[in-house]
Amino acid sequence: MNNCHIGLIWFINNILLFVALSLSVAIAIYSAVKKVFADRSIRKLAIIKNDLHHLAKSGAEGIKNICPKIIGEITREQFFEITKDKRSVMPEKFQQQLKDCFINSGKISEIESVAAGSGNKWGKIPAIISLGYTESRNALGILKSSIYDKDEDISYFSMLALAQIKNKASAGILLDYLSSHSYSGRKVISLLESFPAGIIAEEALKAAENKNPSVRFWAVKLISKFKLKEAHKKIEGLLNDKSADVRAASCECLGELKEKSSEPALLACLKDKIWFVRMHAIRALCKLPGVDCRKEAAKLLDDRVWLVREAAKKTMEKF
């Protein structure tokens, strides 16, 4: 009986050994095959990049004749790799021609389809980034939806794609996003800082009237970052906002805009019932050109909140 058990154990051990060896061989073969295909893809991509580099030097007529043929052989994965390295692959002036060529080829519809409906996260993200680069006709609609995706990575890369487009619509989408995602404010504002000031001015002023206090708050921060002096009257109006955060941010913003005409509005904020509004008000008041705020700062040395007293003290020390 014992011999029977020993024989069975040896038989099972031999099977397990065979399975382990087979798996090892299979993994080795798989790795080798994968490396061959990866090397082939890298070589092919290098050839495409080289072709595009030469195409960029061929002039408008050459681009018109040759570009469709090159684009016709590019997969969406290869296009994504090209857009990642666009600055090193091609001159700046050639990029728009490449975008137009890719869109006219009809291949953009495949990228749009993946970006809008793919369930594969790691296939969807490259498509989203490519949409931001190409600025296709349907890009804004797709990105406006994907920015609200429950997956944080998809949402984040949708923000990056919108930041590549840099127009009024994309800026508006990013600011509207803050209505329900105020915790992403710093991230969104940092992206909007790369937009042209003309676009930001209009959209930020519009966002400053949003019903959501979080959007108003971040709109004021954006105006402050860009130092949009034409917005100072709008910001002065926000000193009466129901949200203390918006009032405090508005005080800080007026200090950055440095318009002397804002002095009366800031003086009124020194009596605000919220301590951090008073603190930002005295700091901003002392940044205005030609304003001696020592008398007002002295009054705050007896404030009930030590941070306000400290701000007043530091303000007086500057003078």
Q: Please report the pLDDT score of residue 260 as a whole number.
A: 92
Q: Please report the pLDDT score of residue 25 as a whole number.
A: 77
Domain residue limits, the chain: 61-86+97-165
Q: Please report the pLDDT score of residue 118 as a whole number.
A: 77
Residue-by-residue pLDDT tens, the chain, 319 positions: 555 566 667 767 777 777 777 777 778 777 777 666 555 666 766 666 666 666 666 665 666 666 666 666 676 666 766 666 655 555 566 666 767 777 676 777 888 888 888 778 888 888 898 888 888 788 899 999 999 999 999 999 999 999 989 999 999 999 999 888 888 889 999 999 889 888 888 888 889 999 999 999 999 999 999 999 889 999 999 999 999 999 999 999 999 999 999 999 999 999 999 999 999 999 999 999 988 888 898 999 999 999 999 999 988 887 7
Task: For the chain, give the DSSP string.
Answer: -HHHHHHHHHHHHHHHHHHHHHHHHHHHHHHHHHHHHHHHHHHHHHHHHHHHHHHHTSHHHHHHHHHHHHHHT--HHHHHHHHHTHHHHS-HHHHHHHHHHHHHTTTHHHHHHHHHH-S-HHHHHHHHHHHHHHT-TTHHHHHHHHTT-SSHHHHHHHHHHHHHH-SHHHHHHHHHHTTT-GGGHHHHHHHHTTS-HHHHHHHHHHHTT-SSHHHHHHHHHHHHHHT-GGGHHHHHHGGG-S-HHHHHHHHHHHHHHT-GGGHHHHHHHTT-SSHHHHHHHHHHHTTSTT---HHHHHHGGG-SSHHHHHHHHHHHHH-
Q: Please report the pLDDT score of residue 120 as a whole number.
A: 81
Q: Please report the pLDDT score of residue 71 as a whole number.
A: 65
pTM comes to: 0.71
**Rounded to an integer, what distance in angstroms lies between the CA atom of residue 272 and that of residue 95?**
53
Cβ–Cβ < 8 Å for 121, 151: yes
Residues with Cβ within 8 Å of residue 43, at least 6 apart in sequence: none
Cβ–Cβ < 8 Å for 174, 163: yes
Which of 178, 162, 47 lies closest to 115 in space, CA to CA? 162
Residues with Cβ within 8 Å of residue 319, at least 6 apart in sequence: 286, 292, 293, 294
